[in-house]
Amino acid sequence: MPAPTWVVGSGGLLGSWVTRELHRRDVPVATSVVPWEEPEQARNVLLADADRFVRATGGGPWRVAWCAGAGVNGTTAEAFAAENALLRDVLDGLAHAAGGSAEHGTVFHASSAGGVYAAAPGAPHSEHSPTAPLGLYGHAKLAAEAVVTDFAGATGATAVIGRFANLYGPGQNLAKPQGLISHLCRGYLTGAPVSIYVSMDTLRDYLYISDAAEMVADALARAEAESGGVSTKIFASGRSVTIGAILGACRTVFRRRPNVVLASSPLASVQGRDLRLRSLVWTELDRRSHRPLPAGIAATLEATRRTMGHSARPSVRSPERA
């Protein structure tokens, strides 16, 4: 039987789908109800749950999928530092519960390919490409990766750093200023314009969330079987599209032109123009049929409609007026 897995951030986009996929594979899964808006309470809950989780394994193998993190481009350095300090504290709590050694543990940490390769030259970027963040977000992701790497080196744990392409699909937090496809779907349903502040020829790799969750589950199994050391892998579809192509795919699904406004923002300076991705690590995880972009947009639209309480498609306006 696969080792019990604690999913931290199970209420978020990636964490909820990873939890669902692990349940589908009959993996014992633990989750936590965390008051993220209260940092000290969140820390106490996670430390208590970390201790309980490891002790329940009775000295056997265990796995943690860290899918938490509220920081986005524009988040302050202090907030990022607090997130990474919490990560460090919880990892230390896991090691303490395991008697100081985490050699039976496997830790998966969700990082951001877009954040760490934003200014890197020579796309498509692979795990062997130099990292080159443009803003605090990317630097914070690299700092978090270092926390996990140091933990594995000090405790003997196995670690996987997952650098993710742009994730999209049902469950995106629309309160966050990220997730272009979900915001385009909401704009379609409400009639509100969506601001875009990057060039239409900006290249991104979009990975549908259920595909991402399956890849995470496969990565956990692969890491647990090999054990020891730190592996870094890019999680992407391997197919990059321009922002203009995304709008075209949305027009096909919506049957009208997306309501977008080209705007300016200081955050544009921390967005890389060419973020094509190509994984060279554990490539067998990439050999799958990824959901096509129009099908993923359609699924995201239906989920957004249900979330917002829309039962019927809005009336279609002509493309010339949209």
| pLDDT reported for residue 1 | 78
Count of alpha carbons within 13 angstroms of residue 274, beta-carbon side: 7
Q: Residue 258 to residues 152, 185, 198: CA-CA distances in angstroms?
A: 46, 9, 16
Task: Please give the radius of gyration of the chain, using alpha carbons only, rounded to the nearest integer.
Answer: 20
Of residues 305 and 318, more confidently modeled: 305
Separation between Cα atoms, residue 16 and residue 303, nearest integer Å: 14
pLDDT in tens, 253-270: 999 999 999 887 776 777
Do 53 and 102 contact (CB within 8 A), yes or no?
A: no
Rounded percentage of the chain residues whose pLDDT exceeds 90: 83
Of the candidates 103, 106, 104, 125, the one whose C-alpha atom is nearest the C-alpha of residue 116 is: 125
Q: Residue 254 to residues 12, 28, 152, 214: CA-CA distances in angstroms?
A: 26, 40, 47, 28
Separation between Cα atoms, residue 304 and residue 321, nearest integer Å: 23
Read off the pLDDT band of 176 (50, 70, 90).
Answer: confident
What number is the average pLDDT over the span 176-186? 90
Q: How many helices (H) and strands (E) does the chain have?
A: 9, 11
Residue 321, pLDDT above cutoff 70 = no
Q: Is residue 155 part of a domain?
A: yes
Read off the pLDDT band of 316 (50, 70, 90).
Answer: very low
Rounded percentage of the chain residues whose pLDDT exceeds 70: 96
| pLDDT reported for residue 233 | 98
Edge-first strand order for the sheet with 240-242 is 166-168, 203-208, 240-242
| pLDDT reported for residue 80 | 95
Count of domains for the chain: 1
Polymer length of the chain: 322
Lowest mean pLDDT among 14-18, 80-84, 195-199: 195-199
Q: Is residue 153 part of a domain?
A: yes
Lowest mean pLDDT among 195-209, 222-236, 253-267, 279-293: 253-267
The C-alpha torsion from 279 through 282 and 286 to 287, rounded to 10°, is 130
Separation between Cα atoms, residue 19 and residue 284, nearest integer Å: 22
Summary mean pLDDT of the chain: 92
Q: Strand 194-196 relative to strand 260-262: parallel, antiparallel, unpaired?
A: parallel
Q: Strand 29-31 relative to strand 5-8: parallel, antiparallel, unpaired?
A: parallel
pLDDT in tens, 90-146: 999 999 999 999 999 999 999 999 999 999 999 999 999 999 999 999 999 999 999
Q: Strand 230-235 relative to strand 5-8: parallel, antiparallel, unpaired?
A: unpaired
Of residues 7 and 73, more confidently modeled: 7
pLDDT in tens, 214-257: 999 999 999 988 888 999 999 999 999 999 999 999 999 999 99
Both tokens assigned to 305? 């409609």
CATH number of the domain within which 123 lies:
3.40.50.720
Separation between Cα atoms, residue 228 and residue 193, nearest integer Å: 49
Q: What is residue 169's three-state secondary structure?
A: coil
Q: Residue 152 to residues 46, 100, 180: CA-CA distances in angstroms?
A: 19, 12, 35
Q: Is residue 257 part of a domain?
A: no
pTM > 0.95 = no
pLDDT in tens, 27-65: 999 999 999 999 999 999 999 999 999 999 999 999 999
Read off the pLDDT band of 310 (50, 70, 90).
Answer: low
- Domain with 126, as residue range(s), is 5-168+206-235
Do 233 and 282 contact (CB within 8 A), yes or no?
A: yes
Read off the pLDDT band of 320 (50, 70, 90).
Answer: very low
Q: Is residue 46 part of a domain?
A: yes
Separation between Cα atoms, residue 62 and residue 223, nearest integer Å: 12
Q: Is residue 186 part of a domain?
A: no
Q: What is residue 63's three-state secondary structure?
A: strand
